[in-house]
Amino acid sequence: MACRSDWPEDGPVLLLLLARGLEDVAIHVLHRCLESAQRPESAHLHSERCLETTATCPRRPEASVSYLWPPLASHRWTALSATQAEDADARWPCALPKAEEGEAFVGKVLLQLSGFASCQRRHVLRYLLHCGLFQGILAFLTAADDIQSQGARSGRGSETSFHGSLRQLEELVATSPRWAAARQLHREVLSLDGSSDERSTGKTRFRASCVRDGQHKGFRSQDAMAAMGAGAMVANEDLEIDLYGYELEVFGFLSGQLFACGLWLGEEWRVNPRGEIYGGAERNFHCVPVGDRRAYLPHDVRNLPRLRPSTALLMLNMAGPRPGELLLDPFGGVGTIAVEAACRFPALLCISSDKDPSACHTAAMHCQLAKKMGRLQPGSRLETRKWDARKLKLEDRSVDLIVSDLPFLNRCDFDFDSGTKWRRGPWEI
């Protein structure tokens, strides 16, 4: 068992998590931002936190960015140069994950930064943590695509031993040559927001976490976490386990035969129904991921599916709204897409409509909160409407762009008796 030869063996590498199927969109945006750092507006991410370059911190001439990610048709990782990224969609396979077999809609992109000065790398890290495109960002440690489906754990405490796939996970984490680079990235991220650094002396508290999907036998997710933690302690003598007061988190993703692992970057973050952000010493496995942190989108409606803000932003970048256009989300729900568009793109009229009264009420609250917080881009406006998608109260040809997350029919109140009624929605649009 070994990592593929086209994976970077050392140096600073980031593992970026995003909605599966939108990897090429993210790569296009990253390419524009990182290769044209002096023109951040070209990325359609109009924000004061866009990537900056200064005369005192130039990028080295030999600096380069390369992308690696698994195609949808398989679990194999594919390397893609920056020049190839421009026509990647022409050869992008269209196979989808097999939900019935437990495969999740989570895409992964490896971003290798070579030749950047440390100050320039901090600019890149700051941009990635605040651009809102990715569900999570990790300092990459290791990956493999030949994990066995069966594993076992025996013994307790110091007598614990792992077998099969769990033994593979332990060895992958323990023998990774990227630990020094990953921990350096972790320290740099902590220094960005003024958080306390890892302890310079003594032990560093850590925990291992794992997200697992697919078909596996003989072990639980907790066993995979234990195997990863054991490997981390073999590779780092200064680590000690602390599930709640940890300073470092080793995070792994086990999907079928594919395993990827890294150090989680970014502080834990939660938001209450009033839009107030809080964190601190409280530890929870279900904190808001770094790329989905939106203080202006705190509310949910019970039993109503909600699109991740990071996925909404990727969809909007794929659509490419231009100033002066009218953007409509006819299945708006709590308003995520429309609010995100108005907060990221200038001079747009964004309308979120839905037939559910609770969803419309929540969307209106999000619109008001975004306005109150001053998050709307110059010239952009937000409106909410209680409309049925089959009877939109808009003039013909008045909408320039439609971006929407179509409803799950088994979760929403739709008429199944008549196929004609269901077809009216797309025809109306």
Token pair, residue 365, equals: 């609250």
pLDDT at 296 over 90: no
The neighbouring-strand residues paired with 204 are 239
CB atoms within 10 A of CB 21: 17
Alpha carbons 399 and 404: distance in angstroms, whole number: 13
pTM for the structure as a whole: 0.78
Domains of the chain: 13-89+101-264 (3.30.2130.30), 309-428 (3.40.50.150)
Tokens 């907790």 locate to 222
Q: Which stretch of 42-46, 126-130, 269-273, 306-310 has the lowest confidence by average pLDDT?
A: 42-46
Alpha carbons 302 and 39: distance in angstroms, whole number: 42
Q: Which residues, in sequence order, are CB contacts of 175 under 8 Å at separation 6+? A: 142, 231, 235
CB atoms within 10 A of CB 222: 12
Q: In this predicted structure, what is the pLDDT of residue 376?
A: 96
At residue 298 the predicted structure's pLDDT band, cuts being 50, 70 and 90, is confident
Token pair, residue 413, equals: 């109140």
Sign of the C-alpha dihedral computed for residues 103, 127, 110 and 314 taken in this order: positive
Q: Which stretch of 269-278, 288-297, 340-349 has the lowest confidence by average pLDDT?
A: 269-278
Token pair, residue 47, equals: 């924000």
At residue 408 the predicted structure's pLDDT band, cuts being 50, 70 and 90, is low
Share in percent of the chain as helix, strand, coil (round to 5): 30, 20, 45
354 closest CA partner among 326, 315, 384: 384
Q: Which residues, in sequence order, are CB contacts of 247 under 8 Å at separation 6+? A: 196, 198, 199, 204, 205, 206
Pairing assessment for the beta strands 401-402 and 326-329 based on DSSP bridges? parallel
Percentage above 90 pLDDT, the chain = 39
Token pair, residue 282, equals: 């409280």
pLDDT, tens only, 180-233: 999 999 999 888 866 555 555 588 999 999 988 888 999 999 999 999 999 999
Q: In this predicted structure, what is the pLDDT of residue 142?
A: 92
Q: In this predicted structure, what is the pLDDT of residue 159?
A: 85
Tokens 């086990």 locate to 254
